[in-house]
Structure 1
Amino acid sequence: MPTPKYREAQLRLRSYISEKGLAAGDQLPAEADLAASFGISRLSLREAIKGLETVGVLKTRHGGGTYVEPFSFSPILENLPYAIELQSRDLRNLLEVRAALEEGLIGRASEWIRRRDLEALRELAVSMETATPERIAELDRQFHLRLYEPLDNPLVDQMIELFWEIFHRMQEQTVTSAPSGAELARLHLNIVDALADESDVVQAMSRHFDDIRVRLDHEA
């Protein structure tokens, strides 16, 4: 089966960006010029551009041309279906990936942690104790993002947020019981205390994920 024109145009566009060394923020040539260069119709080119916009490669500004977008995991989140057929094992597998990521990075993050980071983390953890379930989820997301902020690595930030968001969505669909705000506050404060005392922060993080594992096993 021949490759659809729009798909061929997407491949040509990706190759063009790579060959020309275009970076985030760089503008592509005019639509008519690109279509003529690729030997395709402007309609096929437009379909290709729309497809690459969906996955975050390009961005068209109304009346202002088409530009290369910075790398981001956001399109993955935006295109995740909200009604996924899941089993508890899927959530457990995702938890293991998320735990490996965070436990693997926490030691390095602890080397760069600052007093203001500790204060912000402690405030987020304490706030969980009396927050509503909806607010607790947001506090938890902020806590895990702030935890790795000292690494000053945008890719790490995006990966932490990606796995947090996917896990949170899956957990909402498969887990019926949830820890209390007080329990969550305690688990997160243990992490902050380990950072402040320069003790075994990896173990504190591991205990946090162990608590989630126990709850998932209970649901199975």
Structure 2
Amino acid sequence: MAESFRTPALSKRIQQYIKDYILANDHRPGSALPPEGEIAATLGVSRTAVREAVKALEALGVVEVRHGEGLYVRPFNLDAIRDHLSYSLDFDADTVAEIYQVRRWLELGVLPDVLARLDEATIDRLQAVLDQWENEARAGIWTEQDRRFHWILNSVTGNRMLVLFLDIYWQLLNNLPYDVLKLPIDRLTTVEQHRKLFEVIKTRDVAAVHKALDEHYIDQEQRLKRVMAARGAEETTSHAPLGSDLPAFSIH
């Protein structure tokens, strides 16, 4: 066993061993794993090598280290995907428009299930979000009630993966290197748009809600593209060649 781990890909092999161990022992989120020293002894490698492998798995969201307690299986999450996308968007911010489009397709696709499961308790929660949102908008407070509104709406599906995927969109917007969230529109206008959408949602008419939601997303996409186009123009100006701000002249 020890010999097979003495390769250049040592960390990868230790990571695979830990993942295989989790599966072989049918460990669930929150299950305790052997201490790093025990893993090192089993594989015949140094504790430093195990520690590096654990750090890599922790970054991927597979395990978590609880200081003073040990190593545990972490609940499934999409943090690694989110973090990678956030980093990538620093270089290719235009991708956010495509991510927004994916979000639109997802929410429209699950709409029939959402409306079929929509109960009065959820309606009341959406109403409460809108009321709080309006109060915060009138006070000039930038809020995450937009995110909460859509989160509550889609949570009725009971599909945790859907909620996790959609939440990536919001986290990406929060992590962008510029303020896309604060699109050039009055805060109260945004609340009013969602109130109108809410009234249609209460009818549970799939076709009507689909139309209203699609129009809402198209409007958001268009405003997002305008903001990003303006951002691109600013960056082009800020990276203009030396001397480009000098008056033009011609040789006679």
Q: TM-score range by the shorter chain?
A: 0.7 to 0.9
Tell me if the contact between 1:112 and 1:151 (Cα under 8 Å) persists in the aligned partners.
yes
What are the residue-to-residue correspondences of 1:21-36 with 2, within 5 Å?
Answer: 21-36=26-41
Q: Quote the Cα distance in structure 1 between the aligned partners of 2:135 and 2:66.
A: 44
Tell me if the contact between 2:90 and 2:177 (Cα under 8 Å) persists in the aligned partners.
no
Question: Which string of whole-angstrom CA distances, capped at 9 and with x for unpartnered residues, describes residues 46-72 of structure 1?
Answer: 111122112221112223221111101
Q: Quote the Cα distance in structure 1 between the aligned partners of 2:211 and 2:80.
A: 33
Q: Quote the Cα distance in structure 2 between the aligned partners of 1:168 and 1:98.
A: 15
Given candidates 54, 61, 66, the residue that maps to 1:56 is 61
Q: Quote the Cα distance in structure 1 between the aligned partners of 2:140 and 2:13.
A: 44
Tell me the TM-score normalised to structure 1 length.
0.85
**RMSD of the alignment, in Å?**
2.7
Between the aligned residues of both structures, percent identity stands at 24
Q: For structure 1, list consecutive stretches of 5 or more residues without a partner in the other structure.
A: none
| Deviation of 1:34 (Å) | 1.6
Partner of 2:200: 194
Do the aligned partners of residues 193 and 127 (structure 1) sit closer, same or farther apart at CA in structure 2, a change above 3 Å counting?
same
SS at match of 1:28: coil
Tell me if the contact between 2:197 and 2:209 (Cα under 8 Å) persists in the aligned partners.
yes
SS at match of 1:10: helix
Higher relative contact order (CA 8 A, sep 6+): 1
Which has the larger helix fraction?
1
| Deviation of 1:217 (Å) | 3.6
* Bigger-Rg structure (1/2): 2
Do the aligned partners of residues 83 and 100 (structure 1) sit closer, same or farther apart at CA in structure 2, a change above 3 Å counting?
closer
SS at match of 2:213: helix
Tell me if the contact between 1:99 and 1:206 (Cα under 8 Å) persists in the aligned partners.
yes
Q: Quote the Cα distance in structure 2 between the aligned partners of 1:75 and 1:134.
A: 34
Structure 1 outlier segments of 4+, above 6 Å:
none
Partner of 2:213: 205
Given candidates 86, 104, 109, the residue that maps to 2:109 is 104
Partner of 2:249: none
Q: For structure 2, list consecutive stretches of 5 or more residues without a partner in the other structure.
A: 1-6, 230-252
Tell me the TM-score normalised to structure 2 length.
0.75
